Amino acid sequence: MGFYSERVLPRIVDLTCGRTDHDPIRRRVTAGLAGRVVEIGFGSGRNVPFYPARVKAVTAVEPADLGWRLASERVAQAPVPVQRAGLDGQSLPFEDDSFDTALSTWTMCTIPDAGIALAELRRVLIPGGTLHFVEHGLAPDAAVQHWQHRLDPVQSTLFGGCHLNRDIRGIIERAGFTISDIDVFYQAPGPKFLAALSLGVAVSP
């Protein structure tokens, strides 16, 4: 990791992910979490205030040391233990069937191979365990998709490998999850190419 990705990008992530209009979305996506939770792409811990009471412990996976440091106050105030125990969603250092639920918010856009990360989540979730996700990705409209494909190289260069045009439903289903609930919508305000969200729950077999 270089200076930009280590020292600058985590602060940009903290600011952009701290938008207060994300709060209702975070409340929705975290609502069904319970038991032992693994959260990939933990960032600066913006989901911590929204963990519901049924959560018993959270294991964070986050490559950016600065992101984890920026999370320290939220982690300290969490009502449950939150520990960082992994650096890469594509290679989770956990036994099979270690977690009841998993969380990923605005992260599958950036993990180099999101399919591998999802396969890892399947492995570490108990059978029937659930992945709770909200991700930006490929829009439902062709006109927006056109701009997503055109702008993707710029976005990816400026924002640490973040892609605009990932087919969120497709990558989750191809990893073997069954989507039990999904809502695809544009978050307003914001440019549609960045704001096409998929929010839902996927069940591990």
Ligand X SMILES: C[S@@+](CC[C@H](N)C(=O)[O-])C[C@H]1O[C@@H](n2cnc3c(N)ncnc32)[C@H](O)[C@@H]1O
- Which stretch, 62-70, 125-133, 167-175, 184-192, contacts ligand X (CB under 6 A)? 62-70
Site for ligand X in 68-97 (CB under 6 A): 88-90
User: How many CB atoms lie under 10 A from the CB of residue 120?
Assistant: 24
198 binds ligand X (CB under 6 A): no
As a whole number of angstroms, the distance between CA 32 and CA 24 comes to 14
137 binds ligand X (CB under 6 A): no
**Shortest distance in whole angstroms from residue 82 CB to ligand X:** 13
Site for ligand X in 27-56 (CB under 6 A): 40-41, 43, 46
The two structure tokens encoding residue 196: 């096409």
Provide the CB-side half-sphere exposure for 186 (13 A, CA): 12
CA angle 183, 120, 133 (to 5 degrees): 15
The secondary structure element, H or E, covering residue 100 is strand 99-105
Which of 48, 58, 64, 70 is the binder for ligand X (CB under 6 A)? Answer: 64
Determine contact, residues 85/108, Cβ cutoff 8 Å. no
62 binds ligand X (CB under 6 A): yes
- Spatial CA neighbour of 194 closest among 106, 133, 123, 126: 106
**Shortest distance in whole angstroms from residue 147 CB to ligand X:** 20
Residues binding ligand X: number (CB under 6 A): 19
- Spatial CA neighbour of 116 closest among 124, 126, 128: 124
Residue nearest to ligand X as judged by C-beta position: 43
**Nearest CB to ligand X, comparing residues 89 and 129:** 89
**Nearest CB to ligand X, comparing residues 7 and 146:** 7
**Nearest CB to ligand X, comparing residues 116 and 126:** 116
CA dihedral sign, ordered 90, 198, 109, 5: negative
Which residues here bind ligand X, judged by CB under 6 A? 13, 17, 40-41, 43, 46, 61-64, 67, 88-90, 105-107, 110-111
